[in-house]
Amino acid sequence: MFGKKIKKLKNWWQNKKNLPQFRIQLEKLKKEKRETYSAVLISHELSATGAPLMLLSAAKAILKDGGQVRVLAYQDGVLKSNFQQLGVAVFVHPDFRDNSDLLNEFGGDCDYAIANTVVAYPAISLLKGPKILWWIHEGKVIEDDYINRFRKKKFRPDLEETLRIAPKIAVVSDYAKQVVVSYNPKAEVLNLAEDDWGEVSSRILKDDDKVRIAMLGAVCPIKGQDVALQALESLAPAYAKQIVLVVAGKQDDAYAQNLREKYQLLSNVQWENAVPFEKLQDFYAKQDVILVASRDESFSLVALEACMNSKPLIVSSNVGAKFLVEEGKNGFVFESENVESLKNALIRICKKRLSLSEMGAYSRQKYVENGTMEVFAQRLLRLMKK
């Protein structure tokens, strides 16, 4: 308890100490303000995770378009240096969340603002001046958790009310949009994207090769590995012997251990550790099909990477990236949590085993049409300036 108080005091002192330096940097920025436009990007944190990484991509798109960018974040993180390498000024202070005066001092003079994720919602009400695009990355969790958690507090707006009054909202998929439009019918879709590091061709299976179907992600209830294992277990031997299910991801808690023990007799399951980014391309190259069985996922970068790497897909109906799948052409969509539905998808994949390379080529086409950084930049800039 005493250690936490000391840490909190140190953070308070550091933040107080930073403000004078930030103000000097801000004045310099204002003097250098470009004739085109300026944009402030607001993030709850600067970790090297999905939403902050996409904000980094947004910064690159704006800079390439000739705009000036600055970042306001509630918490520091490793991504700060990535922004700074682009020449972007980064200001980190927890009071950017609730302090209207501080938020407007550092962002109110900009032409545009992007508030990243649901957690940045106070900026929608507090920031005056810029045209604000609220880019929401979450889906069902908004109703299942966030609305009750972010009820109006002393210095903070109410999340549900903010959803209703926000002038401009973007969500990451049509699946996520189903949640948000019940509060704000003006919500538009801005899909996620990734730089192209994928393979443009797939391995061609021989008659005796097993179909390697891979799942990527931490082993936990939300990711649906249990549904996949049940479906695999229920397959008739004629199909089961054609498949190897590769489960790759963090598995160091009781849930994961229990799942491994329960299905330890399934000889066609291969358990692997989480795959680091630098080894992802090699991992995808060894697989034939990518399975995303999540019970709720507003998008799915794994599905996008699968298409980038020319892999057919099997995805749950509760995955936002299901729009990347055209039934039968590059994969199948199964009913979320429905073991029989997933079992049928696995059977259909087995029947198409000699056509998986062609299906993968179609997946690659879906990535080029929907998931490149060029496509993302065009859509982002259009929405931001709208």
Residue 92 lies in a domain: yes
pLDDT tens digits for range 202-248? 778 887 889 999 999 999 999 999 999 999 999 999 999 999 999 99
Residues 230 and 135 in one domain: no
Residues 232 and 306 in one domain: yes
Residues 100 and 223 in one domain: no
353, 205 Cβ separation under 8 angstroms: yes
Residue 165 lies in a domain: yes
Structure tokens at 232: 């695999």
* Predicted confidence band of residue 13 (pLDDT cuts 50, 70, 90): low
Residue 1 lies in a domain: no
Residues 152 and 140 in one domain: yes
Q: In this predicted structure, what is the pLDDT of residue 191?
A: 97
Residues 229 and 322 in one domain: yes
Q: In this predicted structure, what is the pLDDT of residue 34?
A: 66
Q: In this predicted structure, what is the pLDDT of residue 153?
A: 67
Structure tokens at 107: 């962002």
Residues 237 and 156 in one domain: no
3-state secondary structure the chain: CHHHHHHHHHHHHHHHHHHHHHHHHHHHHHHCCCCCCEEEEEECCCCCCHHHHHHHHHHHHHHHCCCEEEEEECCCCCCHHHHHHCCCEEEECHHHCCCHHHHHHHHCCCCEEEEECHHHCHHHHHCCCCEEEEEECCCCHHHHHHHHHCCCECCECCHHHHHHHCCCEEECCHHHHHHHCCCCCCCEECCCCCCCCCCCCCCCCCCCCCEEEEEECCCCHHHCHHHHHHHHHHCCHHHHCCEEEEEECCCCCHHHHHHHHHCCCCCCEEEECCCCHHHHHHHHHCCCEEEECCCCECCCHHHHHHHHCCCCEEEECCEHHHHHCCECCCEEEECCCCHHHHHHHHHHHHHCHHHHHHHHHHHHHHHHHHCCHHHHHHHHHHHHHC
- pLDDT over 90 (residue 4): no
Residues 41 and 21 in one domain: yes
Average pLDDT of the residues in 186-193? 96
Average pLDDT of the residues in 47-57? 94
d(CA 166, CA 250): 37
The pTM score is 0.89
- pLDDT over 70 (residue 379): yes
d(CA 329, CA 312): 9
- pLDDT over 70 (residue 52): yes
pLDDT tens digits for range 294-353? 999 999 999 999 999 999 999 999 999 999 999 999 999 999 999 999 999 999 999 999
Residues 354 and 376 in one domain: no
Q: Regarding predicted confidence, which is higher, 182 or 17?
A: 182
Q: In this predicted structure, what is the pLDDT of residue 202?
A: 78
Residues 224 and 235 in one domain: yes
Q: What is the CATH number of the domain that holds 187?
A: 3.40.50.2000
Residues 67 and 113 in one domain: yes
d(CA 194, CA 360): 18
Residues 61 and 176 in one domain: yes
Percentage, residues of the chain above pLDDT 70: 94
pLDDT tens digits for range 235-264? 999 999 999 999 999 998 999 999 999 999
Average pLDDT of the residues in 9-16? 57
Domain boundaries, position 149: 9-193+372-385
Q: In this predicted structure, what is the pLDDT of residue 154?
A: 62
pLDDT tens digits for range 142-189? 999 999 888 866 667 899 999 999 999 999 999 999 999 999 999 999
Average pLDDT of the residues in 38-65? 95
Q: Which distant-in-sequence residues (6+ apart) come within 8 Å of 66 by Cβ? A: 34, 36, 37
* Predicted confidence band of residue 366 (pLDDT cuts 50, 70, 90): very high
Q: Regarding predicted confidence, which is higher, 380 or 153?
A: 380
Structure tokens at 109: 């003079």
CA 135 vs. chain centroid, Å, equals: 12
Residue 201 lies in a domain: no
- Check the CA dihedral 305-87-135-187 and report its sign: negative
Residue 199 lies in a domain: no
289, 314 Cβ separation under 8 angstroms: yes
Q: In this predicted structure, what is the pLDDT of residue 336?
A: 97
- pLDDT over 90 (residue 90): yes
* Predicted confidence band of residue 199 (pLDDT cuts 50, 70, 90): confident
Residues 377 and 356 in one domain: no
Q: In this predicted structure, what is the pLDDT of residue 14?
A: 59
Residue 121 lies in a domain: yes
Q: In this predicted structure, what is the pLDDT of residue 6?
A: 52
d(CA 253, CA 94): 32
Average pLDDT of every residue of the chain? 93
Q: In total, how many domains does the chain have?
A: 2
- pLDDT over 90 (residue 62): yes
